[in-house]
Amino acid sequence: MVPPTLLVRGTNSQLLANTLPSVSPPHVAYLSMNDRGTYFYRCYSQSSAGRFISGKGPGQARPLGDNLLPEFINHLTLQTTRPTALVSVSSRMVDTLRRAFNKLYKDGEDPSQIWIAFIFVPNAEKHDYHHAEDLAKGLKMKEPSLLQYEYVFEWEIPEEYFIHEVSVETLMQRGFNMSEFLVNDKRGGVTLPRISELKTKFAKAILKSSDNAHEVGIYLGLLARCFGARSPLHQIILQFQLDCFRINNVEHDDQLFRWSYDDDFPAIENGLDEVMFDWWLTDPDFCAAYEDHLAWAEQIMRDVESEGELYRTVMKIEEAAIELGL
């Protein structure tokens, strides 16, 4: 059974379509990836300047011009109380996950208020952001390569680039909490280690839990599933591999099998397909529940009579979608 279409009928069709999964059907997010743009990841919470808007507001889309570099210098100042006109993202998912879970474990923030957003910018629009490493080089800063994976938008991230977001609370409810990677910090608390060590720990966890390449695919598929059917599943899986397996310091004794691209990649793909399709997106029970969710959401939206009721209904639909695994 193929998952039902996401085309929604009724007077509130556009709002409902925006509330429900943004692809049709859900597994299209797993299949339809290409090189037409760049994926970015952003972590934000109540302690952040804003979701997609800078601390100085949207700025009416006016370019910063000569003010870009001064704003960038201020943006790099840790613990600054001065708002900036820049919004930062990362091209490396493991960086964003580290920021998000350190907000929980290190800073004690509410996991329901810590969010990870997925952003896709078409190549034709790449002038909308700046590479932080290039800006640092322009300022002749020391070690600009430390900003290799960081990018900034002026004023705001356009809403049309937004794909999906998931809270740390939802990730934990779905079994992903990164607690196995925690280390003690100098303050007597816990934190996630620096990126190089975290990548190594991630790779070891994947390899030690798997007897062969097929099981690596299953592990990665189950990991991606935590982010929901509306997320860019294929990109998440690819990004985990790029972030965690392009490393040199995993000792041979820690690996349970040798990597061979030609031999192991098809087996990894088979494991991924087993999780994504056989166990999930084409599973008859999931498809039936998904179809019921669409029908229920459309029905309760028809009964909305006020703006306040509309907001509550949208939130109710979203809660049900998350519970379903969307």
Rounded Cα gap, residues 208 and 94, in angstroms:
19
Profile the chain (326 residues) by mean pLDDT over runs of 10 residues. Answer: 29 34 39 68 88 81 82 78 87 94 95 96 87 92 91 92 95 95 90 92 85 88 93 89 62 44 74 91 92 92 86 91 92
Residue 35, pLDDT score: 61
Where are the chain's structural domains?
36-173, 194-281
Residue 162, pLDDT score: 94
Residue 136, pLDDT score: 93
- Which CATH number does 36-173 carry? 3.90.210.10
Residue 246, pLDDT score: 57
Q: Which residue has the tokens 């003690």?
A: 184
Residue 319, pLDDT score: 92
Residues 89 and 119 sit within 8 Å (Cβ to Cβ): yes
DSSP collapsed to 3 states, the chain: CCCCCCCCCCCCHHHHHHHCCCCCCCCHHHHCCCCCEEEEEEEECCCCCCCCECCCCCHHHCCCHHHHHHHHHHHHCCCCCCCCCEEEEECCHHHHHHHHHHHHHCCCCCHHHCEEEEEEEEHHHHHHEEEHHHHHHHCCCCCHHHHCCEEEEECECCHHHEEEEEEHHHHHHCCCCCHHHCEECCCCCEECCCHHHHHHHHHHHHHHCCCCHHHHHHHHHHHHHCCCCCCCHHHHHHHHHHHHHCCCCCCHHHCCCCCCHHHHHHHHHHHHHHHHHHHHHCCHHHHHHHHHHHHHHHHHHHCCCCHHHHHHHHHHHHHHHHHHCC
Residue 263, pLDDT score: 64
The model's pTM is 0.83
Residue 2, pLDDT score: 30
DSSP bridge pairs for 177:
none
Residue 242, pLDDT score: 83
